[in-house]
Chains A and B, each alone.
Chain A
Amino acid sequence: MTWVHTIVQGILLGGYFALFATGLSLVFGVMRLVNLAHGALALVAAFCAVALVNATGMSAWLTLPIVLPAAAVVGYFLQRWLLNATVGAGEVTSVLVTFGLSIIITNVLLQVFSANSQGLQAGSIGTASVHLPGGLDVGWFDIVTFLVAIVVLSGLQLVTSRTTIGRLMRASSDDPRTALLMGVNTKHVYAVATAIAAATVALAGIFFGMHTQFSPTSGNDYLLFGFETVVIGGLGSIWGTLAGGVVLGLAQTIGAQINPADGVLAGHLVFLVVLVFRPEGLFSGGGGAVTAAGALRAVRGIPRSLGSLYRAMSSGARGGQGARPGRAAARIGARTEDDGLLVRVRRRGRGSLSGGIAMLAGVVVLGTLPYAAGPSVIFNLVSMFVLVILASMWNLLAGYGGMMSIGLQAFYGLGGYTLLFLSDHGVSVWTGIFLAALITGVIAVPISFLAFRLRGGYFAIGTWVISQAIYLIVSQDSSLGGGSGAALTALSGYDPAQRQADTYWVALVILVLAIGGVFALLRGRLGLGLTAIRDSETAADSLGVRVGFAKRVAFLVAALGCGAAGALTLANTLSIAPSSAFDVTLTAYMIFCVLIGGLGTIEGPIIGAVIFFEIQYHYSSNGVWYLVALGALAIVMAIRLPQGIWGLITARTRLSLFPVGYQLTAANQGAGRRGSAKEPAGSVAENRN
């Protein structure tokens, strides 16, 4: 009988998840926006309800007619004032902006409401239950929620299929430009969609708040539950959303029935299984308006990307006289007669040589530092190196491969825990760091097959889910210290100064390897292929780039680098805990560094990480407001200055310390003279950076 009870509970839990998913899939369907702040918005509503209840003593139910309209208004203006700037600006921008937004919301809530758990009382209905034959008790509140979910989903279906605003949403989703020509103010239509989404997720937040306790950090779980529901159910059908919620609900309750701590993990695992066997979702309608529009838009993007890719290839090939672009690397400085124009192809940019020498000198100086600097400086420098490595890896994926991951903390944590495991089994720590990185890279192979089932914003959240699953597994392994973590005891007999110096040198070696490795990777054919994939996966594929292979190599290198960074951190701090080793905030830091420095350049993340480390060193004591400011900075940078600080510098000086592209200079009247070929040089640079 317990099992029947569990199954009924699981089905009803699906109602909550469907409510979380509704707005997420609506916003994605109408404007292809993956809103990473979706869960945070649900929490805002729940906390507003808490505040109202606390202030007036009103029933939680009565907060609904106040909070829901307010959420709709907030959603509308959020879209008008902020998110519309990201629509059409590419998925990188929208992912970064909404992620920044979720960080801001989470930390403001932490500041205002503290980290304590809160709950909402559903009143008498919250405790009442229906007695079914066979001694089965089912809570009224869960039944009500399930019915509300059905009403919301059918209502939304009616709105999109039957009303004028629904028609406008579908038209704007199909073809925003033509919609404008028909007199449709698409910005308003988008804002209405977000308003509806915000109201539904506010409803979800308050209902779930009456069901389970929540804290300011629950938003991430809400987002992941909603996202898993959407993917399991499949886009394009409302009943798919409900069914997806039910499957997730069943997975969580059945998992919890087997082991009380495993409910959420079971949900993640079922999601991953669906991803492997049926990535389009279990119940996808197939011909849904939303999916059709998405497919069309992907196709429409091809001609433009083909054009830019062709430009990149042909200008590369011209320098190498028809050689494959990768070969042109061997012909630095080759001069070719082409249409009577003498063209010069160079890989070195301004400052490449002198910059390279300076960097070499810098590494040598850094190498001698342990003899000169104090232990705290050395400790901090290792932390900074780790940050530089992490930022470079995130940038390799997002800036070159177009893969925005919010789950690189998985590899960071795995690297740390692998080192712990190896060290516990007698492997020396210094060997262990390198081994841990390698093992992390190996573990990343099967993970990549899972993650590559998803694209764009969905890839971002999918990698996050994978990271959460690993986190939950690790934190339940008592041999690794369980949820409270463990210490690296192997180094306790070491002289502290010597230990720090050794850690520092290993960190420096790994730093040089990481940046040098990324540079080497991007300079070759694979780098060109990756950049093409970033601009358009379909076009790159059709031109013969081995898309899967190139992406996988980048993913594995990133895993390797993050694993090394995690292992280094353990060697530096001597302790590790799952909640910090698998903390999504780590990825947030990587994103900040890359955004500040400049996405899609090798120099950018290095500069960004150094600046960010300084900011963190001086201001992180300001607690959550510091994170709020960082979130705001990320949003502003993503919208206003997407090329970052290094982008600003290169735009003025054409400096290039790590030249991975090609530069064309026309030399009409003899070598050395810069002619009118600024345009092609610009377009090549644009495609490689």
Chain B
Amino acid sequence: MILSVEQASAHYGKFQALFSIDLRVPEGQTVAVIGANGAGKSTLLSMIAGLVSPSAGRVVFDGADLRGVPAYQRPALGIAMVPEGRKLFPSLTVRENLQIGGYQARPGPWNLSSVYELFPNIARYKDRKSGSLSGGEAQAVAIGRALMSNPRLLLLDEVSLGLAPVVVKALYAALDGIKAGGATVLLVEQDVSQALAVADHIYCLLEGRAVLDGAAAGLSMDQVTYAYFGATR
């Protein structure tokens, strides 16, 4: 088990965003967290990445409790995140963005040239300011930037957000190459069918609570719909 979230809650001030979440990610598997807007998916990823600290419970990575480990030390442990909305550094070039991603790199297969190989398009833009990229290009750079640290656990937050289906398909096609590089993937998606297609295991969050989890193959669409909306159609 590379990651386990145990009975973790999270608060923003007085507002409770997560309620005693349990989540397990076995090494080598792809796990997807789905849920509607405001279900707490991004909070969960931010907690694993260290931007939000759990108000109760704990996050265990590779057997070690992450309590007190600041966000900036987590890439060196092997946790990398592709934040929602891509969040490239706009005044840096594409290459510089990737270099920042590799600032705390662990040894491994990913470097500038292997990232360019995975996403041949971005090699062409490597000297452009990242603020000038299109959404799909920027998302590829954001994924490449996270890979540069050679993560053992890659957190993908809403990769498909605001992108055309054909672009999303191309990005998800890169997932096999990423897994082959040794990274375990935990992804957050609003697009249920996309999540079901790529994940081995699904967790569904509803208003901060994990209301459903199971092997992707074993879940019926009705079950998922009910868990997603908290109501039957």
Chain A interface residues toward B at CB < 8 A: 164, 167-168, 170-171, 173-175, 177-186, 289, 292-293, 296, 679
Contacts and interface: CB of A to CB of B under 8 A. Distances in A.
Interface string B81-104: 101000101111000110111011
Contacts of B50: 180
Rank and list the top 10 A-B pairs by shortest CB-CB distance, nearest first.
Answer: A183-B104, A183-B75, A289-B91, A174-B89, A178-B87, A180-B71, A171-B89, A185-B72, A180-B72, A171-B100
A168 B100 contact: yes
Contacts of B16: none
A182 B104 contact: yes
Contacts of A177: 51, 87
Given A181-B51, A292-B90, A164 B71 contact: no
Given A175-B87, A179-B100, A181-B83, A167 B92 contact: yes
Interface in B49-91: 49-51, 70-76, 80-81, 83, 87, 89-91
B145 interface: yes
Contacts of B101: 182
Given A178-B89, A183-B75, 5 more contacts: A164-B99, A170-B91, A175-B87, A182-B75, A182-B103
Interface string B179-221: 0000000000000000000000000000000000000000000
B92 A171 contact: yes
B43 interface: no
Contact of B89 (A164, A170, A679): A170
Given A177-B51, A178-B83, A184 B100 contact: yes
B89 A175 contact: yes
Nearest to B49: A181
Given A174-B90, A175-B87, A296-B90, A181 B75 contact: yes
A180 to B, nearest CB: 4
B139 to A, nearest CB: 14
Given A167-B100, A183-B104, A293 B83 contact: no
B131 interface: yes
B103 A293 contact: no
Contact of A183 (B73, B87, B91, B131): B73
Contact of B91 (A180, A184, A292): A292
A173 B71 CA distance: 17
Contacts of B92: 167, 170-171, 174
B103 A168 contact: yes
Contacts of B80: 181
Interface of B: 14, 49-51, 70-76, 80-81, 83, 87, 89-92, 96-97, 99-101, 103-104, 131, 145, 149
Contacts of A173: 91
Contacts of A186: 72
A516 B80 CA distance: 57
A473 to B, nearest CB: 42
Nearest to A289: B91
Contacts of A174: 89-92
Contacts of B72: 179-181, 183-186
10 contacts: A171-B89, A171-B92, A174-B90, A177-B51, A177-B87, A179-B72, A181-B72, A182-B104, A182-B149, A185-B72
B51 A182 contact: no
Contacts of B73: 183
Nearest to A682: B14
B83 A184 contact: no
A185 B75 CA distance: 11
Contacts of B83: 178, 181
Given A168-B103, A182-B101, A185-B72, A293 B91 contact: yes
A310 to B, nearest CB: 16
B133 to A, nearest CB: 14
A164 B195 CA distance: 37
A167 B91 contact: no
A175 B87 CA distance: 8
A679 B15 CA distance: 11
B169 to A, nearest CB: 26
A180 B100 CA distance: 10
A485 B226 CA distance: 82
A183 B74 contact: yes
A505 to B, nearest CB: 49
A182 B96 CA distance: 12
A624 to B, nearest CB: 40
Contacts of B70: 180, 185
Given A175-B87, A177-B51, A180-B71, A167 B96 contact: yes
Contacts of B71: 180-181
Contact of A167 (B81, B90, B99): B99
Name the residue among B74, B90, B91 with the largest chain A CB count within 10 angstroms: B91
B227 to A, nearest CB: 28
A643 to B, nearest CB: 16
A296 B90 CA distance: 9
A185 B72 CA distance: 6
A432 B100 CA distance: 64
A181 B70 CA distance: 10
A289 B103 CA distance: 20
Nearest to B93: A167
A296 B88 CA distance: 12
Name the residue among A164, A168, A171, A177 with the largest chain B CB count within 10 angstroms: A171
A182 B81 CA distance: 8
Contacts of B81: 181
A161 B31 CA distance: 39
Contacts of A184: 72, 100, 103
Contacts of A181: 49, 51, 71-72, 75, 80-81, 83
A607 B46 CA distance: 43
A295 to B, nearest CB: 10
A292 B92 CA distance: 11
Contacts of B145: 182
B73 to A, nearest CB: 7
Name the residue among B14, B99, B103, B149 with the largest chain A CB count within 10 angstroms: B103
B45 to A, nearest CB: 10
A296 B89 CA distance: 11
A175 B100 CA distance: 12
B131 A292 contact: yes
A182 B74 CA distance: 9
A186 B71 CA distance: 11
Nearest to A296: B90
A217 B81 CA distance: 50
A185 B73 CA distance: 8
Nearest to B76: A183
B110 to A, nearest CB: 14
A345 B78 CA distance: 53
Nearest to A178: B87
A73 to B, nearest CB: 22
B86 to A, nearest CB: 9
A175 B96 CA distance: 14
A183 B149 contact: yes
Contacts of A164: 99, 103
Contacts of B87: 175, 177-178
A454 to B, nearest CB: 23
A62 B139 CA distance: 53
Contacts of B103: 164, 168, 182-184
